[in-house]
Amino acid sequence: MKQIIKNVIIINPYEEPVKGFVVLDGDKIDRVVSGEPEERADSTIDGEENWLIPGFVNTHGHAGSSLLRGAGDDMPLDTWLKTIMWPNEKRFQKNTVEAAGDLALVEMLKSGTTTFLDMYHLNMPEFAQKIADTGFKAVLGRGMIGLGSEDEKKDKLKEAENLIKNWHNQAEGRIVTAVMPHAPYTCPPDFLTKSADLAAEYGVLFHTHCAETAKETEQHIDKYGLHPVEHLHQLEIFKINVLLAHAVHLETEHIDLLKKCNVAVSHNPKSNLKLGSGIAPVVQMKQAGINVTIGTDSTASNNTLDMVEEMRMSALIHKGLHEDPASSSAADVFASATIGGAEGLNIPGTGKIAAGYKADFCLVNTKAAHLTPNLEERAVSHIVYAMKSTDIKDVWIHGKHMMHNRELLTLDEEKVLFEADKQAQKLL
Ligand SMILES: CSC[C@H]1O[C@@H](n2cnc3c(O)ncnc32)[C@H](O)[C@@H]1O
Ligand SMILES: [Zn+2]
């Protein structure tokens, strides 16, 4: 199907804005053209001089725990995991996780996320089916805590493998899979190695939480005599494609190692601040040439799945931390939240509005006081420092129109919110 989105200002990081139109051929962008279209299409949307921006790529989250939003505030990671997350997650039923997953999809779509990574231990095949049916794009992995009996550990790895076999490169390529052991503090070395072997066997991404808190990092050093980053390297896990979530507590030598081994990082600033985990050395990592992408983590630690908020947080905290406003630019952060995220997830042809790329983008309503003066040359600054996610009015993923004038086209938002409230009540 041929679609045209016309009268828009097309905004990509590091590029001059283009005033014109975009022609889609099926799931791809066929052309980005300046001026007015004279050709016809199966569908033409008039953007009325709105911005067309790449969809956001959220590189770390746990959709299945969305109903725990606000359930455990103001506590550090280990207390929060042991007293709030794990006891509640043990009580989750299929309906709980389904309602939570739907809620996450609604929240992400309404704030312009077109691709996301999800690590969870419950209902992942069912979530994959929901993603396939509703048009989203995701990197999915069976979250694995590598503790328990040998049989339990084997079963988890088997489930991870089955997810890969059944869902890798499925749903017209919108779903890819990855191997996701939870963290070096919940997965002993032999389990991490088996996970990496599985990722290598299928050529998929390896993703894990790493060096999120000082306590966990120090305990790892006490137990193994190695920093978790050195340990993953010693286990030869960095020989495959790796994306680490958090990477807050790193010294220069760990940053150098990550760069040398081409390891990407998912920076989750709001979750790290809220859990009091610290601030990741993003400026140093970027200076070293590491691909630092952006993720939200779950609503239980964030407490939103809003990449616009996350991008702004990321843009601001490092300026304050380093007392240097030039430590990051709007274009850098916008790139990290879009094309950089897609590269970190190893999804080529995603994250940019250009010919040949997948048609994953958002239309932004610029008629708002907080986006005025609406000058093209200030668009990237406005997107990072001023835009609200509610300014996003339309979203496309792989050429499929997913939201129009803030109305979701493939999910029943009212029903999803109702069911989420109902299932959360049941958990009380
Ligand atoms: C085994 S599936 C995912 C597992 O991760 C837990 N979780 C959520 N957020 C975090 C975080 O920031 N650090 C560590 N673990 C986290 C969640 O409760 C699930 O059990
Ligand atoms: Zn996480």
Q: Which of 67, 60, 163 is nearest to 106 (CA)?
A: 67
Expressed in angstroms and rounded, the spacing between residue 330 Cα and the centre of ligand 1 is: 30
Ligand 1 neighbour 297 (Cβ under 6 A)? yes
Note whether 408 and 360 are same-domain residues.
Answer: yes
Note whether 26 and 86 are same-domain residues.
Answer: no
| DSSP assignments along 367-414, one per residue | -SGGG-S--GGGHHHHHHHT--GGGEEEEEETTEEEEETTEESSS-HH
CB of 103 closer than 8 Å to CB of 420: yes
Q: Which of 47, 50, 57 is nearest to 3 (CA)?
A: 47
Expressed in angstroms and rounded, the spacing between residue 41 Cα and the centre of ligand 2 is: 43
Residues making up the annotated binding site are 60, 62, 89, 142, 182, 209, 212, 297
Distances (CA, A) of 295 to 261, 316, 325, 401, 402: 21, 16, 22, 24, 21
Phi, psi (5° rounding) for residue 25? -120, 100
421 part of a folded domain: no
| Residue of the CA atom closest to atom 14 of ligand 1 | 209
Note whether 281 and 376 are same-domain residues.
Answer: no
pLDDT for res 185: 98
423 part of a folded domain: no
Ligand 1 neighbour 417 (Cβ under 6 A)? no
Contacts of 133-137 with C-beta under 8 Å, sequence gap 24+, read 133/410, 134/105, 134/410, 134/411, 135/174, 135/397, 135/398, 135/400, 135/402, 135/410, 136/105, 136/108, 136/109, 136/174, 136/397, 136/402, 137/174, 137/175, 137/347, 137/350, 137/358, 137/360, 137/397, 137/398
Atom of ligand 1 nearest to the CA of 144: 1
Note whether 316 and 358 are same-domain residues.
Answer: no
Distance CA 201, CA 263 (A): 19
The identity of residue 331, as a single letter, is: A
Q: In what order do the strands lie in the sheet with 407-408?
A: 28-34, 18-25, 2-10, 43-54, 361-364, 392-397, 400-404, 407-408
315 part of a folded domain: yes
Domain final residue, candidates 290, 324, 344: 344
| Residue of the CA atom closest to atom 17 of ligand 1 | 85
HSE toward the beta carbon, residue 276, CA cutoff 13 A: 9
Ligand 1 neighbour 315 (Cβ under 6 A)? no
Expressed in angstroms and rounded, the spacing between residue 386 Cα and the centre of ligand 1 is: 31
Ligand 1 neighbour 60 (Cβ under 6 A)? no
| Residue of the CA atom closest to atom 1 of ligand 1 | 143
Ligand 1 neighbour 50 (Cβ under 6 A)? no
418 part of a folded domain: no
Phi, psi (5° rounding) for residue 51? -85, 145
Note whether 97 and 218 are same-domain residues.
Answer: yes
Ligand 1 neighbour 268 (Cβ under 6 A)? no
Ligand 1 neighbour 286 (Cβ under 6 A)? no
pLDDT for res 182: 98
pLDDT for res 49: 82
Ligand 1 neighbour 119 (Cβ under 6 A)? yes
Note whether 232 and 162 are same-domain residues.
Answer: yes
Domain final residue, candidates 344, 359, 381: 344
pLDDT for res 347: 98
DSSP 302: S
* Segments forming the whole domain that contains residue 105: 56-344
Ligand 1 neighbour 160 (Cβ under 6 A)? no
- Under 8 Å CB-to-CB from 324, ≥6 apart: which residues? none
CATH code of the domain covering residue 163: 3.20.20.140
Expressed in angstroms and rounded, the spacing between residue 289 Cα and the centre of ligand 2 is: 24
Six token digits for residue 59? 């590189």
Residues making up the annotated binding site for Zn(2+) are 60, 62, 209, 297
Q: Sign of dihedral through CA atoms 150, 78, 193, 195?
A: positive
Angle (nearest 5°) at CA 219 between 215 and 222: 140
Note whether 219 and 273 are same-domain residues.
Answer: yes
Domain final residue, candidates 288, 312, 344: 344
Note whether 46 and 60 are same-domain residues.
Answer: no
Q: Which of 89, 90, 111 is nearest to 100 (CA)?
A: 89
Q: Which of 260, 334, 268, 322 is nearest to 295 (CA)?
A: 268
Alpha helices in 213-366 (DSSP H): 214-224, 228-234, 252-260, 269-274, 282-288, 307-322, 330-336, 339-344
Per-residue pLDDT of the chain (428 residues; tens, 9 = 90+): 999 999 999 999 999 999 999 999 999 999 999 999 999 999 999 998 899 999 999 999 999 999 999 999 999 999 999 999 999 999 999 999 999 999 999 999 999 999 999 999 999 999 999 999 999 999 999 999 999 999 999 999 999 999 999 999 999 999 999 999 999 999 999 999 999 999 999 999 999 999 999 999 999 999 999 999 999 999 999 999 999 999 999 999 999 999 999 999 999 999 999 999 999 999 999 999 999 999 999 999 999 999 999 999 999 999 999 999 999 999 999 999 999 999 999 999 999 999 999 999 999 999 999 999 999 999 999 999 999 999 999 999 999 999 999 999 999 999 999 999 999 999 99
CATH code of the domain covering residue 24: 2.30.40.10
Q: Best of 75, 79, 81, 217 to mutate for ligand 1, by most ligand atoms within 8 A of CB?
A: 81
| DSSP assignments along 84-149, one per residue | IIHHHHHH--HHHHHHHHHHHHHHHHHTTEEEEEEEESSSHHHHHHHHHHHT-EEEEEEEE---S-
C-alpha 43: how far from chain center: 30
| Residue of the CA atom closest to atom 12 of ligand 1 | 297
What global pTM score does this model have? 0.98
| Residue of the CA atom closest to atom 10 of ligand 1 | 297
Residues making up the annotated binding site for substrate are 89, 142, 182, 212, 297
